[in-house]
Amino acid sequence: MPPKSFNVGKERLIDDEEEPLQAVILADSFNKRFKPLTTSKPRCLLPICNAPLLDWTFESLSLAGVQEIFVICRSHADLVRAAIRESKWSKPSSGLKIVPILTAKETFSPGDAMRDIYTRGLITTDFILVNGDLVSNVRIDEVVKVHRERRKTNKDAIMTMVVKESGAKHRTRSRGDSAVFVLDAESSECLHYEPVTGYPPKTQVGIPREILAEHPEVEIRNDLMDCSIDVCSVEVPSLFQDNFDWLDLRRDFVHGVLTSDLLMNTIHCYVVKEGYAARVKDTKSYDSISKDILARWTFPLVPDDNHPGGHAYEHLRGNRYIAKDNTVVLSRTCKIGNNTLIGSSTHVFDNAQVISSVLGQKCKIGVNTVIRNSYIFDGTTIGANCVVENSIIGAKVHIKDKSRIERGCLVADGVVVGPEAKLRPFERVSKRRDTEVGDDDEDEESEEEEETEGDDQEEDDEDDEDESEDEDDEDSDSELEEAEANQAAIGATLGEDTNAIAWPLKSTEGEDSDADEMETFDNQRLMRMGDSASDLELTDPGSITSSEVDSDSDEEDGFMVSRTRRASASATSLPLTTPSTELLVPPLASAMEKEFQSEVSQSLERAFAEGHSVDNAAVELKTLRMSTNVPLRRVREAVIAAIVEQIPIVEGNMAQQRKEIANVVDRWGELIDRIGGVDAVETVSILQTHCASSQRLPLFGQVLAALYQNDLVEEDDIREWHRQPASRGEGMKPGTFSENMEKCWAVGTRMIQQFDEQEESEESGEESEEGED
Amino acid sequence: MDFSETTSSQPDIREFVAVVLAGFGNELSPLSSGAGGEPSPKALLPIANQPMLDFPLAWLEQSGIKDVILICPTAHRQAISHYIHSSSSTSLRIDVHPYEETEDLSVGTCAILRHFTHLIQQDFVILPCDFVPPPSLPLSSILNKFRTESISDGCMSTACWFAPRRSEQGTIPDEWGQYEFSTPIVYDPVTGTLLHVDTPDDVDRNGDEIELRMSLLTRYPRTRLSSNLQDSHVYVCRRSVLDALAQKPTFDSIREEFMPWLCKVQYQRAKRERYGSVLTPTTNTLNQNVALRHSTTGAPNDLFSLKHHASLGEKNVAYSAPPSPTSDEDNKGADASLRVGVVIHNDSSEYAARANTLHSLLELNRSFLTKAQWTLPTDPKDRALIDPKAQISSDSIVGESTRVEERTSIKRSVIGKHCMVGKMAKIVGCVLLDHCVIEEGAKLDNCILGKNTRVGNKAALSWCITQGGYEVEAGGSYKNEKLEISDWAAGGTSSEGNDGTSEDDEEEEEGAEESGESED
């Protein structure tokens, strides 16, 4: 909850239209989809159509009339700062006030950045939150107006997300990272947010039934592109402060706010029908957004007008853009295709072809070279007879003669390859470190630290490789080290004169159980430039999904369907990726639960040992549950197990034993109902299951009696439990476990008999409890 | 399937056959319970003095459909046939087919449909006997949607959902049974496609969330989820839908199981692969057969199949070799959308409902009252039965041959035929079926009285429903009750007790009546 002063401030501001519009740019991407291009500069400074992304973002914001911008930078902060200082926006005439904010190295997620914003107290009014890789011509000021208008009547509407209508299969809409929005048909209030990953494919979307009670007509939209432009109220950073486990703006914050029963806040969507807005989230969107800019979808932000880098281009037929300053040298025999942008001082030599590509400034394209669907940054030289297709080539790269770079390669700044280099598809190449050690000190994208834990493991696995040279303790870039270690294995033909190393093709992070499901390798493939992922196509949401789930929803069809599906799957998909990843998913989930169980038992042990209050223990459990997202039943199981195991066993002294039980249950029993839901019948059956598989089987009756005395379990609940066939151990394999279950059930039977007798003879409840024991 | 016999014996080609399902109406008990061993078929319970069956039949007639298969329980056959043959005004050809069913052990609608499959040789319309369609929604508009879409993109079926008018909660006592809740559905408003129907099974499986397949959302990225629509149980279906039904022997209810399943076939690939060929055996069999029959060549079957493949655009198929079954299947799956269309009727100004609960029966009667303009009957015999000193408000309906005696007041009520309403009786907001006898000074408000109900002197009923033939003793007073003959014997003693305690109730009712009067 925001401090009081904020509320007061905000109320004043709503009346005061003159308040400067503030914006916050998260200039760090918090992921590494552009590696290794981002080893020497942050993503927001990568050029798209020859202007840094950050400048496109500034341009978009200034179009919306923003006056004050805070740029939150983390990795390569000084580069970002220098870029801001030098950009045209920091000139007094621009009317923009840009403040770079350097956050701590420990900021690993947008959530951390928001907490940082809160602690610094930067924000005084409603603000626009965008990422540093935004290209947009949307009138964000309209959204701000709508948002403020709504706030006047509804104080709980804390955020407005800008989404763009695009269709489910729009090229700029990422297949690997999209979402389903459930909106109120009238007010476009966002009622449910469901993130969708491309692989493993999401099969189902669950829409909470409770939203239908208040919103009988809702729209389910799978055709919206999330522009990541949010108009936030001042409370938003403070909410992050209160919920320290929120990391992602969408999957944690939006989901958290919408599902929370404590926060009464609402989030709205603003559906943009006209205009353009997209984020360069990955190389695929880099590709599609570049094409969109060249195709003038972003008008008035186009290369020949309002170019954010301040360049001047001449717009020729077929969306060809040539720098205007007469420094471009095009050979008479070269061929420039449609949708191409060529920066100043670039030479294209005889018979070279440049098709649907962007060339930076001062590039040289050699004789007979073909450049197709590629992006080449400033100062790069490409020799004669080369082929570069569907790739991104960094700045000051030298590709020597007769090299072939095809399909989805990323070549980092300063790399030299060739002659006759041949890069495999999706090869990622960067400069070897030891050639220029000094350069590396700053070379960390934010996420590398995040990675270390996983990579340490990885290194253990890879120990057989020669790692003798990995002495460089200052730089913890283990992935790079690993890449170096694996050079021999990769054996890419990078050419004689190369200074480059190739990165492992399959990123290791997918195997890391901590890794985000968004970042698994196969999902990342959907975000890769030039990767049609046709071998994954089968699993594209919408085709195979249906049959998979079909088999369990429709028992009678089950056999047939699953058989046909498997047959078709093996027939059409590459065996390489599909089976392994299919196996990968369930262990992940169970690992999550296992981890949760150990966490809970630790947390409870601590609580028991240190004598926390029930309240505190409950809060801790709730947080744990939220962070791991396990079902409530698991929590209950863990709590009951912990409580039962907490009871010391006293041999041979019934009275003493009873006292011990009463002690524990009196003190901690309440916790069972404080974990976020009350279900006494389930409590009894969990207690039974636990006792049946534990040393404390003889205690079942007494614990149950103690729960009953503490009003945690009512008589009706016990009867209900007793009625359930599962309680009798039905349907279980015969063995000690089911015998024990039966024993417990028998105890319950006795208890119920006593209840009945008690009713008849109208004895006091306590006596009957005594008798029970 | 060979239609040649049917078509040659009957020169006129029937496009649709209507299947009207009439059940017991267990929800309408005790009105539908019958009296004295004589059944009281639900289909013949009146709405505004017209058997409810008339509404769907009139709707059918208006749409041009001629053939009706009326399926009813064996016990009701006689009454329903009698009614149909006695009212000769209709141009429909109605075949009444009985099925064995008892009130306690009801047969699912799917089973009934499977049982009568042999009677249905063409595309068909299923409709319930209790749907009172809104005037602005002719059946032909639903048929037209089906016609267009089944030809253009292989639509399988067209359903009709409507927005019921929300009655104020709490006005109707709980004793009347549950109000029919609407079912959440997902549909595409642009193309009018029904995509998902929430079923009780879904609720059992996941009570917190409505689960939707991503394949649905990918195919239809912008859909609407609505929870305030009701199923009219009107389905226009292709004949081949019955073949699919035959393959799903476990299905019991059309509304709760089969239609939701049919929706899923649209977008679940495995189901498409499996049932696509069943659902679209040879496109437009009937039309093509008809065309062949009219053609001069007397086409043999193989020519027909050639035409069929050509129509699918398979120009490259070598006709000498039979196409492999798999490729054929694929084609059908890919070609036909297997869509389930839906007509959403969302006009709150009109009242549409299924008269399958007591609430909706009462509401439907009242909705007709708003349009009623009661005047003295023109027939002098009937006019003579109405005492000039009786007060009958204009928003009432009084059936023929009904006697209304002096100083009786009737407001907002439907009085059946051949009733007797005694002196000083007050009837407000009630529905009286035929042959009721209301004795002197009785007070009725918001009641539905079954056939032959007799209400004794100065009895007072409020929010009560009586079984046909029930007799309320003189001076008896009841509130919020279903009065059934079976507990009649016990009623004598209990109502004594009631009498003692219900003084207050009566006063309240009087108060209510007075206020009602002042409103009028």
Q: Which residues pair with B371 in a beta bridge?
A: none
Considering the domain architecture, whether residues A85 and A219 belong to the same structural domain is answered as: yes
CA–CA separation, A188 and A199 (whole Å):
29
Closest CA to A236 of A99, A118, A145: A118
Using the beta-carbon criterion (under 8 Å), do A550 and B212 form an inter-chain contact?
A: no
- Looking at the structure, do residues A333 and A248 belong to the same domain, yes or no? no
pLDDT for the residue A323: 92
In a domain, A205, yes or no: yes
Query: Is A444 domain-assigned?
Result: no
* Model confidence band, residue A768 (pLDDT cutoffs 50, 70, 90): very low
Is B165 within 8 Å of chain A by CB? no
Residue A432 CA: distances (Å) to CA of A39, A43, A405, A438, A563? 12, 20, 19, 12, 50
Give me the helix-helix angle, A53-63 and A140-153, nearest 10°. Answer: 60
A97 domain-assigned: yes
Does B221 contact A at CB distance below 8 Å?
yes
Query: What's the half-sphere exposure (Cβ side, CA atoms, 13 Å) at A539?
Result: 24
A564 part of contact set with chain B, CB < 8 Å: yes
Percent of chain A with pLDDT over 70: 77
**Both A270 and A320 in a single domain?**
no
Six-digit token pair at A315? 């717009």
Which residue is listed with tokens 């040289």?
A364
Rg (CA), chain B: 27
Residue A483 is predicted with a pLDDT of: 62
pLDDT band at B106 (very low <50, low <70, confident <90, very high): low
**Neighboring chain B residues of A632 at a CB cutoff of 8 Å:** none
Residue B515 has pLDDT above 50, yes or no: no
- Compute the nearest-CA separation of B123 from chain A (Å): 26
**A16 at interface of B, judged by CB pairs closer than 8 A:** no
B225/A218 CB distance under 8 A: yes
Q: Which of A421, A426, A417 is nearest to A404 (CA)?
A: A421
Structural domain for B452, as ranges:
373-504
Q: Of A269-283, A617-631, B233-247, B452-466, which gets the smallest average pLDDT?
A: A617-631
CA A376 to chain centre: 29
Task: Count the domains in chain A.
Answer: 3
State how far the Cα of A692 lies from the Cα of A130, in Å rounded to an integer.
55
Summarize pLDDT for A644-654 with one digit per residue, the tens: 887 877 777 77
pLDDT category at A486 given cuts 50, 70, 90 is: low
Q: Assess contact for B225 and B209: CB atoms under 8 A.
A: no
Which residues of chain B lie closer than 8 angstroms to A204, CB-CB? 211-214
Q: Do residue B75 and residue B131 come from a single domain?
A: yes
Instruction: Write down how long chain A is.
Output: 773
A34 and A77 in a single domain? The answer is yes
The structure tokens listed for A57 are 């973002």
> Which chain B residues have a beta carbon less than 8 Å from that of A547?
268-271
- What confidence tier does A24 reach under pLDDT thresholds 50, 70, 90? very high
Query: Is B46 within 8 Å of B433 (Cβ atoms)?
Result: yes
**Rounded to an integer, what distance in angstroms lies between the CA atom of residue A634 and that of residue A594?**
10
Q: What is the DSSP string of B102-119?
A: -SSSPPPHHHHHHHTGGG
Put simply, whether A210 touches B (Cβ < 8 Å) is yes
pLDDT at A550: 40
Cross-chain Cβ contact B224/A220 below 8 Å: yes
Residue B282 shares a structural domain with residue B421:
no
Q: Does residue A335 carry a pLDDT above 90?
A: yes
Instruction: For the beta carbon of residue B201, count every other beta carbon within 10 angstroms.
Output: 12
Q: Residue B9: pLDDT above 50? A: no
Phi, psi of A579 (to 5 degrees): -60, -40
Contact between A543 and B269 using a beta-carbon 8 Å cutoff: yes
B325 touches chain A (CB under 8 A): no
Confidence of residue A590 (pLDDT cuts 50, 70, 90): low
Q: Average per-residue pLDDT in chain B?
A: 78
Q: Is residue A581 part of a domain?
A: no
Residues A728 and A598 in one domain: yes
The reply to whether A676 and A627 lie within a common domain is yes
Residue A521 maps to a domain: no
Per-residue CA distances from B502 to B412, B460, B477 (Å): 25, 10, 7
pLDDT of residue B298: 43
Test mutation, B218, B230, B275, B329, chain A, max A CBs within 10 A? B218
Residue A333 confidence (pLDDT) above 60: yes
CATH number at residue B190: 3.90.550.10
Q: Check whether B69 has a pLDDT greater than 60.
A: yes
Q: Do B340 and B402 have their domain in common?
A: no
Token pair, residue B264, equals: 């899923």
Identify whether the C-beta of residue A233 lies closer than 8 Å to the C-beta of residue A123. Answer: no
Q: Do B210 and A218 touch (CB under 8 A)?
A: no
Q: Residue B223 is nearest to which of A220, A549, A565, comparing CB atoms?
A: A220
Express each pLDDT in A211-230 by its tens digit: 888 888 899 998 888 888 99
Q: Determine, for residues B212 and A204 on separate chains, whether the beta-carbon distance falls below 8 Å.
A: yes
Taking contacts as CB-CB distances below 8 angstroms, the residues of chain A near B274 are 557, 560-561, 564
8 Å CB contact of A557 and B274: yes
- Do A488 and A614 fall within a single domain? no
Indicate if A356 and A481 belong to the same structural domain: yes
Apex CA A200: angle with CA A194 and CA A205, to 5°? 25
Evaluate whether residue B308 is within a structural domain: no
CB A500 within 8 A of CB A494: yes
pLDDT tier at A440 (50, 70, 90 boundaries)?
very low
Across the interface, whether the CB atoms of A180 and B206 are under 8 A apart is answered no
A567 touches chain B (CB under 8 A): no
Residue B354 lies inside a defined structural domain of this protein = yes
Q: pLDDT band at residue A557, thresholds of 50, 70 and 90?
A: very low
> Would you call A543 and B221 a contact, using CB atoms and an 8 Å cutoff?
no
Residue B495 lies in a domain: yes
Q: Are residues A252 and A321 in the same domain?
A: no
* Contact check, Cβ <8 Å, A209/B210: yes
Identify the closest residue of chain A to B229 by CA–CA distance: A216
| B93 at interface of A, judged by CB pairs closer than 8 A | no
Q: Can you give the CATH number for the domain in which B434 is found?
A: 2.160.10.10
Of B210, B225, B227, the CB nearest to A206: B210
Contact A545 B227 (CB under 8 A): no
Could you tell me how many CB contacts below 8 A there are between chain A and chain B? 129
pLDDT confidence of residue B156:
87
Determine the average pLDDT of the residues in B39-60.
89
**Whole-number Å distance between alpha carbons of A550 and A409:** 39
- Contact indicator for A420, A443 with CB cutoff of 8 Å: no
Report which residue type is found at A736: T
Classify residue B178 by its DSSP letter: P
Q: Is A369 helix (H, G, I), strand (E, B) or coil?
A: coil
Is the Cβ pair A541, B268 closer than 8 Å?
no
CA–CA gap between residue B491 and residue B498 (Å, rounded): 10
CA A298 to chain centre: 27
Whether B283 and B387 map to the same domain: the answer is no
Test the B interface: residue of A202, A259, A538, A546 with most B CBs within 10 Å: A546
A-chain residues within 8 Å CB-CB of B261?
Answer: 554
Is residue A391 within 8 Å of residue A531, measured between CB atoms?
no
**How many angstroms separate the CA atoms of A405 and A507, rounded?**
20
Locate A349 and state its tokens: 């030599």
Contact residues, chain B, for A258 at CB < 8 Å = none
By C-alpha distance, the chain B residue nearest A558 is B270
A-proximal residues of B, 241-300, CB under 8 Å: 248, 250, 261, 264, 267-271, 273-274
Whether A209 contacts chain B with CB within 8 A: yes
- Reading the block at residue A193, the tokens are 């947010």
Residues A344 and A416 in one domain: yes
Residue B511: phi and psi, rounded to 5, are -60, -45
What whole-number distance in Å separates Cα of residue A543 and Cα of residue A552? 16
Distance from CA of B340 to the nearest CA of A (A): 17
Answer whether 0.95 is exceeded by the pTM.
Answer: no
- A-interface mutation test, from B250, B268, B327, B344, most A Cβ less than 10 A away: B268
Nearest to B183 by CA among A300, A549, A209, A236: A209
Domain membership flag for residue B8:
no
Query: Given A504, A522, A541, which residue is the final one in a domain?
Result: A504
Nearest to A168 among B205, B208, B218 (CB): B218
Q: Is the pLDDT of residue A763 over 70?
A: no
For residue A463, what pLDDT is reported? 38
Give me the pLDDT at residue B36, please.
65
3-class SS of residue B513: helix
Choose, out of A209, A555, A556, the residue to mutate when testing the contact with B (most B CBs < 10 Å): A209
Q: Does A712 touch chain B (CB under 8 A)?
A: no
pLDDT at A510 over 80: no
Instruction: Return the structure tokens found at B90.
Output: 């209709």
Q: How many domains does chain B have?
A: 2
Expressed in percent and rounded to 5, the helix, strand and coil fractions of chain A are: 45, 20, 35
Average pLDDT, chain A: 76
Query: A232 pairs with which residues across the strands?
Result: A127, A159
Same domain, A265 and A123: yes
CB contact under 8 A, A209 and B213: no
Confidence of residue B214 (pLDDT cuts 50, 70, 90): confident
Q: Which residues of B touch A219 (CB under 8 A)?
A: 222-225
Least CB-CB distance to A205: which of B217, B269, B274? B217
Is A584 in a helix, a strand, or coil? helix
Share of chain B above pLDDT 90, in %: 16
Q: Over 50: is that where the pLDDT of A10 sits? A: no
- How many other CB atoms are there within 10 angstroms of residue B58's CB atom? 16
DSSP A46-63: SEETTEEHHHHHHHHHHH
Are residues B424 and B347 both part of a single domain? no
Host domain of residue A723: 587-771
Confidence band for B296, pLDDT divided at 50, 70 and 90: low
- Interface contact B212, partner A, CB < 8 A: yes
**Angle in degrees, CA A611, A615, A616, rounded to 5:** 60
Check CB contact under 8 Å for A222 and B215. Answer: no
* Stretch A601-625: mean pLDDT: 80
Mutate to test the interface with B, among A203, A220, A553 (most CBs of B within 10 A): A220
Contact A196 B250 (CB under 8 A): no
Q: How far apart are CA A753 and CA A735, in angstroms?
A: 27
Q: Do B150 and B181 have their domain in common?
A: yes
Per the CB < 8 A criterion, the answer to whether B360 and B147 are in contact is no
Do residue A276 and residue A348 come from a single domain?
A: no
Asked if B396 contacts B413 with a C-beta cutoff of 8 angstroms, the reply is: yes
What CATH number should be reported for the domain holding residue A269?
A: 3.90.550.10
CATH (domain of A764): 1.25.40.180
Nearest CA in chain A to B219: A542
User: Rounded to 5 degrees, what are φ and ψ at A771?
Assistant: -60, -40
Do you find a cis peptide bond into B30, omega within 30 degrees of 0?
A: yes
pLDDT surpasses 60 at A413: yes
> Which B residues in the span 173-192 are in contact with A, Cβ-Cβ below 8 Å?
184, 186
Identity at A291, one-letter amino acid code: K
A71 forms beta bridges with A25, A100
What is the per-residue burial (b if ≥16 Cβ within 10 Å, else e) of A346-375?
A: bbbbebbbbbbbbbbbbbbbbbbbbbbbbb
Same domain for B493 and B348: no
Of the candidates B76, B232, B11, the one whose C-alpha atom is nearest the C-alpha of residue B141 is B232
